Amino acid sequence: MPPPPMQDLAEETPLEAEPVAPKAEQVEATPQASKPENPGKRRASRTATEGDDRGAVLVTGICGRLGRVFARLLHREDRVIGIDRRAFVGQPKDIVHHQFDLRRTKTRDVFRNGNIRAVVHLGVMHDLRASSREHHTWNVVAFQKLLEYVAQYQVPKLVVLSSANVYGPSPDNPQFLTEDAPLLGAQHFSEIRDLVEVDILAQSFFWKHPDIETVVLRPCHILGTVKNAPSNYLRLNRPLSLMGFDPMVQVVHQRDVAHAMKLALTPGMKGIFNIKGPSEIPLSRVFRILGKRATPVPGAVMTPVLNGLWRYRLTSFPTPELDHIRYVCMVDDSRAREVLGFAPRFSLEETVRAVLG
């Protein structure tokens, strides 16, 4: 059975060359990350005007496994409101969950009725079987409405969870991609075009609304109990690999990603940040840590087989995903370490073994 996609799914869902210039439709320049001018002063000012309640944090896609991890981390210190059409399994009593589609007009009522100080957007669909129209309405149109509400109701903070996969794996990639690298992930894999578009919309929102602190996080492959493609792939008893390829990959623990999102809520913090774990690692070593042996298959055989299996719905692994286990897509996270103050708390072995629960 072919491996599931290596694309990072937000639930329910790796050479040397100079970066290619961004396409014309991209934002002209990448928003620069900035440290809070004086976080303590700003926090004291908000407390003085709002009292003990600084406002709630609204989390979209809160019922995904990563969303639940983040909510449980956050609700100890903040009032949390969630929007997700799924039920919240194990919902803490102090978290308010609105179980409806983000595209519903009820979303506006949440903004109108709640004292919201920040929005964390995790609600991106990655169902590769869904139609392009459904992807567009769910991911792009819904996100545009969300941005409209954030601006209309003057929410001070917006955090968007994107993915390092927006850069795209390629033999032409430099060893490490910085935040201003072009977003070319959809060039050979059209199914993630809307994920790239969401990222670009967030960048555009950053420039149009400088009074709103916008943060975009681009984590590498997230591992843990999440049901995303990398974790599902590594859970296979006999994963397949491409013969002759052993790319360096970057992985990050799901709890480290939740920690990065919490840091992004710091008053005054804004910009784009690549997020990665402790270090880079060959894909073959990942298998050794898990005590597994991959079965190498020639690319000339894998491609036509996958095309047929995908056509008859016998695999969740479309052919363009092969590039994720063939080529390099690694990021430079120095900005996150220096500005965001992020450092992974889990070791490489702990991160890899997190897929086993």
Which pLDDT score is estimated for 163?
A: 94
Q: Does any domain span residue 121?
A: yes
Higher pLDDT: 6 or 249? It is 249
- CATH number at 44 reads 3.40.50.720
As a whole number of angstroms, the distance between CA 250 and CA 286 comes to: 10
Query: Would you say residue 114 has pLDDT above 70?
Result: yes
Percentage of the chain lying above the pLDDT 90 cut: 62
Q: Does any domain span residue 288?
A: no
Query: Would you say residue 29 has pLDDT above 60?
Result: no
Higher pLDDT: 224 or 47? It is 224
Q: Does any domain span residue 109?
A: yes
Q: Does any domain span residue 240?
A: no
Q: Provide the number of structural domains found in the chain.
A: 1
Per-residue pLDDT averaged across 278-285, rounded? 95
Which pLDDT score is estimated for 18?
A: 34
Domain range for 99 is: 39-222+252-277+331-343
Which pLDDT score is estimated for 40?
A: 43
Which pLDDT score is estimated for 357?
A: 80
As a whole number of angstroms, the distance between CA 123 and CA 63 comes to: 9
Which pLDDT score is estimated for 34?
A: 65
- Provide the sign of the torsion angle of the four alpha carbons 219, 345, 214, 135, taken in this order: positive
For residue 125, name the pLDDT band (cuts at 50, 70, 90): low
pLDDT, mean over the chain: 84
Per-residue pLDDT averaged across 237-263, rounded? 94
For residue 5, name the pLDDT band (cuts at 50, 70, 90): very low
Query: Would you say residue 99 has pLDDT above 80?
Result: yes
For residue 203, name the pLDDT band (cuts at 50, 70, 90): very high
Which pLDDT score is estimated for 131?
A: 65
Query: Would you say residue 2 has pLDDT above 50?
Result: no
For residue 183, name the pLDDT band (cuts at 50, 70, 90): very high
Which pLDDT score is estimated for 1?
A: 43
Mind giving me the DSSP string for 114-135? S-EEEEEE------TTS-HHHH
Residue with tokens 């129209």: 133
As a whole number of angstroms, the distance between CA 101 and CA 112 comes to: 17
Per-residue pLDDT averaged across 105-117, rounded? 92
Q: Which of 10-19, 42-51, 134-143, 210-219 has the highest mean pLDDT?
A: 210-219
For residue 154, name the pLDDT band (cuts at 50, 70, 90): very high
Per-residue pLDDT averaged across 116-123, rounded? 94
Q: Does any domain span residue 291?
A: no
Per-residue pLDDT averaged across 211-225, rounded? 96
Q: Does any domain span residue 153?
A: yes
DSSP-derived secondary structure letter, 153: T
Which pLDDT score is estimated for 36?
A: 58
Query: Would you say residue 141 has pLDDT above 50?
Result: yes
Residue with tokens 């937000």: 10
Name residues whose C-beta falls within 8 Å of residue 150's C-beta, 6 or more positions apart in sequence.
111, 119, 158, 205, 209, 212
Continuous H helices in the chain: 39-50, 65-74, 106-113, 132-135, 142-152, 193-208, 229-235, 254-264, 283-289, 299-311, 334-335, 348-353
For residue 348, name the pLDDT band (cuts at 50, 70, 90): very high
As a whole number of angstroms, the distance between CA 348 and CA 341 comes to: 19
Tell me which residue of 191, 229, 220, 165 sits closest to 9, measured CA to CA.
229
Which pLDDT score is estimated for 188?
A: 73
